[in-house]
Amino acid sequence: MSATEFPKPVPKATPELLPFLDAARAGRLAVQRCGACGTLRFPPRELCSRCWSREVEWTDVSGRGEVFAFYVMHQVYHPGFVADVPYPVVVVKLDEGPTMVSNVVDCPREKLRIGLPVEVVFEEREGVALPKFRPRAP
């Protein structure tokens, strides 16, 4: 089995995720903002976890942040990732507050650390722009 026989999965364009995917396709990183209290959140949710409002809008963020946590994936949960293991999965804390699970690209494994300043880049896969992060100057 090769990676080409099993392409990596891409997120489904659900109604909840569509504004995020549309923004990413245009090279922008977007998160939800509560229409009542202004709290930013990601991934998209129906209710604000701070004030429970259902009012929501989407807003662009800078795409800058830092590595909040990471782990190294050794297990193959999807055959599309056979050639990639072991690979790091990161939680990025965006400068604006929300966190996002993603990957870091253009970064040797030994340079990956908690607090590493990163910025978003978009990886095209099957017509979907996936946000990834790369190291940046602090």
Quick one: which of 8, 25, 45, 50 contacts Zn ion (CB under 5 A)? 50
Decide whether 7 or 35 has the Cβ nearer to Zn ion: 35
Chosen residue from 23, 30, 31, 48 binding Zn ion by CB under 5 A: 48
Residue from 53, 83, 89, 111 that binds Zn ion (CB under 5 A)?
A: 53
Measured in Å, how far apart are the chain's first and last C-alpha atoms? 41
- The reply on whether position 36 binds Zn ion by CB under 5 A is yes
Q: Concatenated DSSP letters for 25-46?
A: HTT-EEEEEETTT--EESS--S
Q: Is 133 within 8 Å of 88 (Cβ atoms)?
A: no
Q: How far is CA 84 from CA 39, 90, 133, in A?
A: 36, 15, 17
Nearest approach in angstroms of CB 97 to Zn ion is: 13
Closest distance of CB 55 from Zn ion, Å: 8
> Residue 93 Cβ, how far from Zn ion at the closest point, in Å?
19
Which of 30/56 has CB closer to Zn ion?
56
Burial of 88 (0-12, 13-18, 19+ CB in 10 A): middle
Rule CB under 5 A: is residue 21 a binding residue for Zn ion?
no
Q: Does 118 bind Zn ion (CB under 5 A)?
A: no
Cα atoms in the 13 Å half-sphere on the side-chain side of 44: 19
Which token pair is 50?
């701070």
* Interacting residues toward Zn ion by CB under 5 A: 34, 36-37, 39, 48, 50-51, 53
